[in-house]
Amino acid sequence: MSAAGPAAAIASAVRAGDRSAISAVEESLAAIDAAGELGAFNAVTAEAALARAGAIDRAVEAGEDPGPLAGVPVALKDNICTRGVPTTCSSRILEGWVPPYDATVVDLLGAAGAVIVGKTNMDEFAMGSSTENSAFGPTRNPCDPERVPGGSSGGSAAAVAGGLTPLALASDTGGSIRQPASLCGVVGMKPTYGRVSRYGLVAFASSLDQIGPMASTVGDAALLYSAIAGHDPLDSTSIPEPAGDLTGALAGDVDGLRVGVVSELCGDGIDGDVRARLDAAATALASAGAQVGEVSVPAAVFGLSAYFLIAPAEASSNLARYDGVRYGLRVPAPGAVDMNVATRTAGFGDEVKRRIMLGTFALSAGYYDAYYGKAQKVRTLVVRDFAAAYERFDVLLAPTSPTVAFRFGERTANPLAMYLSDVCTVASNLAGHPAISVPFGSGSDGLPVGVQVLAPALGEHVMFRAAAALERLLTGAQAPEGATEPVEAKP
């Protein structure tokens, strides 16, 4: 089996009565407290977490099973609605807004016995790749506090990487789970579109958004994914089938697995260090018996341009609801329109305003066909090119981020430079496919590098199988019965 991660270890100890949920939660709260300078959390819900942990301990004492995540502290990205707990999206415009309901994933975490300990920092409305766009100040990368944790889910990635919580939930519209996971040296996974309910996730670009897990091991990520995946009638885009069972995926070997390295995502703009780790991953998989080859996904090179039209277009519509009437901030002014303008001017940060303008332009009469319409056609090409690639390969391999973690301020002056951080991740969102970033050693400066495993729609099982194998190949962990021996693939 894949080495049991810290979340799995806590859950099994709590279920067996060997450890109290309270002690696990206290440990997490103390770590969060001690790491305040990371800026990972917007809010810590200590009192509610301890009360919940106490209830779990009483359930265990009464002979009940609290579930597969019993007593495991979990951090939630602050765009996931929590009843009675402010949900800010790291934006001034939501200041003071307290959701009257829980997201479906929050209900599911509760049903699995998890304990939510707080809400994590993020780029405002999940727009960004460094968490520098938070209205509450940036999050620091636990691997090097002078560098960004990536984004937009920098707080969730830092919480896991810094050992503050064993698990975190985040959202991925164009890479926001995978890229920060890569930059912080943790596992981050975007499920197939529709696999995890979006009910209660504050909408950024509804056709791309997915909630997914972050963890320090592939096994823990699979555990969290299994707890939140499945049909939800409250989300009309939810897949109306139960999520597939992952049993066996983590122990499966890669002998005979067909792995395609995406040539378009490995060329210009990819740092040598990142390329070297990708090559090491491909070599390791091949030594373990996988059939590794190169594959072309021609439309992938246009993915970024299409994404930066489609996502802002949807955002410009989704964010129209922040009008000073229904949610959060209201800046008083004489007349409704003036109030609306004053509220949005004061409440949104620069990047959010840029996206709203970009999206409104792309959708405007006269430009719609040239921009939004064309981007949708590119999206279709991306889907077709992936389909062709999956005729020959079971999974695809690509870098997650073109670079390791960068320094604060390095990309803020040039939006295009920031957008290029997403070049390897957006294609999966456009296609609606699952993808996972697995740490695979580090670059010459010691900073973590993640490798991305992509799979076709509903291909989570084979994706986790390849990811778990990669993790074992890197760490030299014992392969499961019948699987191939680990090979030399050290960082």
**CB-based contact 46:259 (threshold 8 Å):** no
**Cα dihedral sign for 247, 464, 182, 106?**
negative
Cα–Cα distance, 315 to 185 (Å, whole number): 29
Identified binder of ligand GLN from the candidate list 81, 126, 148, 285, rule CB under 6 A? 126
Q: For ligand GLN, which stretch binds (CB under 6 A), given 4-12, 122-130, 270-278, 280-288?
A: 122-130
Nearer to ligand GLN (CB atom), residue 131 or residue 216? 131
Q: Which stretch binds ligand GLN (CB under 6 A): 167-175, 259-267, 338-346, 437-445?
A: 167-175
* Residue from 2, 90, 176, 216 carrying the catalytic annotation: 176
As given in the structure block, the two tokens for residue 44 are: 């810590």
Taking the least distance from each CB to ligand GLN, the nearer of 69 and 148 is 148
Q: Does 424 bind ligand GLN (CB under 6 A)?
A: no
Q: Residues 451 to 490: which contact ligand GLN by CB under 6 A?
A: none
| Active-site residue, selected from the candidate residues 129, 152, 171, 316 | 152
Among 68, 71, 128, 402, binds ligand GLN (CB under 6 A): 128
- From the candidates 2, 20, 77, 190, give the one annotated as an active-site residue: 77
How many binding residues for ligand GLN (CB under 6 A)? 14
Site for ligand GLN in 198-217 (CB under 6 A): 204
Query: Which of 438, 424, 396, 376 lies closest to 182, judged by CA?
Result: 438
Q: Please give the residues from 388 up to 417 whose contact with ligand GLN meets the rule CB under 6 A.
A: none
Return d(Cα 135, Cα 147) in angstroms, integer. Answer: 18
Give the shortest CB-429-to-ligand GLN separation in angstroms: 7
- Distance, CA of 254 to CA of 82 (rounded, Å): 40
Stretches 124-132, 289-297, 386-394, 396-404: which one binds ligand GLN (CB under 6 A)? 124-132
**Which x/- pattern, by CB under 6 A, does the window 296-335 give for ligand GLN?**
---------------x------------------------
Sheet of 435-442, strand order: 41-44, 115-120, 73-77, 167-172, 210-215, 187-190, 435-442, 448-454, 395-399, 258-262, 291-295
Neighbours of 392 (CB within 10 A): 11
* Residue 375 CA: distances (Å) to CA of 31, 372, 385, 388: 45, 5, 15, 20
Contact status: 175 vs ligand GLN (CB under 6 A) = yes
d(CA 386, CA 125): 29
Cβ nearer to ligand GLN, comparing 7 with 81: 81
SS3 string, 133-146, reads: CCCCCCCCECCECC
- As a whole number of angstroms, the distance between CA 78 and CA 201 comes to 9
Give the dihedral sign, CA 83/229/192/216: positive
- Asked if 127 touches ligand GLN (CB under 6 A), the answer is yes
Upper half-sphere CA count for residue 120 (Cβ side, 13 Å) = 36
Rounded to 5°, angle at Cα 151 from 148 and 155: 80
Q: Is 152 a catalytic residue?
A: yes
Query: Applying CB under 6 A, which part among 88-96, 126-134, 271-279, 356-364 lies near ligand GLN?
Result: 126-134
Helix ranges (DSSP H) in 319-373: 336-347, 350-363
Residue selected from 6, 138, 154, 174 as contacting ligand GLN according to rule CB under 6 A: 174
Considering only residues 2, 28, 104, 129, which one is a binding residue for ligand GLN as defined by CB under 6 A?
129
The reply to whether 180 sits near ligand GLN by the rule CB under 6 A is no
422 binds ligand GLN (CB under 6 A): yes
Task: Measure CA of the first residue to CA of the last residue in the chain; give whole Å.
Answer: 22
Binding of ligand GLN at residue 176 (CB under 6 A)?
A: yes
Q: Is 263 assigned a catalytic role?
A: no
* Cβ nearer to ligand GLN, comparing 194 with 219: 194
- Catalog residues that contact ligand GLN under the rule CB under 6 A: 126-129, 152, 171-176, 204, 311, 422
Show which residues are catalytic. Answer: 77, 152, 176
